[in-house]
Amino acid sequence: MTNVSPAFAISVDPGELHFNAAHFITFDNICENLHGHNFHVRIDARGDNDADDLVVDFVLITRLTAGICAELNDKVLLPANSDVVKLEQRDSLVYISSYGKQFMLPEDNCYLLPVSNTTAEMLAWYIGERLLESLRQQEAATNVGELEIAVEEADRQWGVCRRVLKYGD
């Protein structure tokens, strides 16, 4: 028998971890056209097993992530921290301008994200931050050493954010 410690992980990719949303991204001094996707989310958590031999409960992580996805569903996702996308909220509307393009949308159709660009990678980061905050509130992150969130924007095209945590973080 060896003295190598086992590594444990869970992977959650159920059908309810999805949202339909519109977005655009900016790159190379252009602003894409506003367009939509059927986004899917996968969660991987690695760490030590607890006294019940769990890294983190599947049901809990699925429920918390599904709640985040529900908030994003049927929204236009906008980058609130962009240097190249200007957002102005007034009269229940959001005025958006970037690289010569302009949009005007009802405020309740929009979801302003604390990101600089609404790429799949940054959507994964945002979902991961929200999930980690919720896991901490539930005191369920103590055994998680790494959390990886993947957002599928198109068939087999994933944006991924991996976060290495200090245990108890």
Q: Domain locations in the chain?
A: 8-26+35-78+112-164
pLDDT in the model for residue 161: 97
Classify the C-alpha dihedral 5-168-115-81 as positive or negative: negative
pLDDT in the model for residue 167: 55
Element holding 69 (H helix, E strand) = helix 58-72
Dist CA 8 CA 13 (whole Å): 17
Element holding 144 (H helix, E strand) = strand 144-154
The pTM of the whole model exceeds 0.85: yes
Residues 29-37 have a mean pLDDT of: 96
pLDDT digits (tens, 9 = 90+) for 105-124: 999 999 999 999 999 999 99
Residue 125 has pLDDT above 70, yes or no: yes
Superfamily of domain 8-26+35-78+112-164 in CATH is 6-pyruvoyl tetrahydropterin synthase/QueD (3.30.479.10)
Dist CA 14 CA 59 (whole Å): 10
pLDDT digits (tens, 9 = 90+) for 11-28: 999 888 999 999 999 999
pLDDT in the model for residue 52: 84
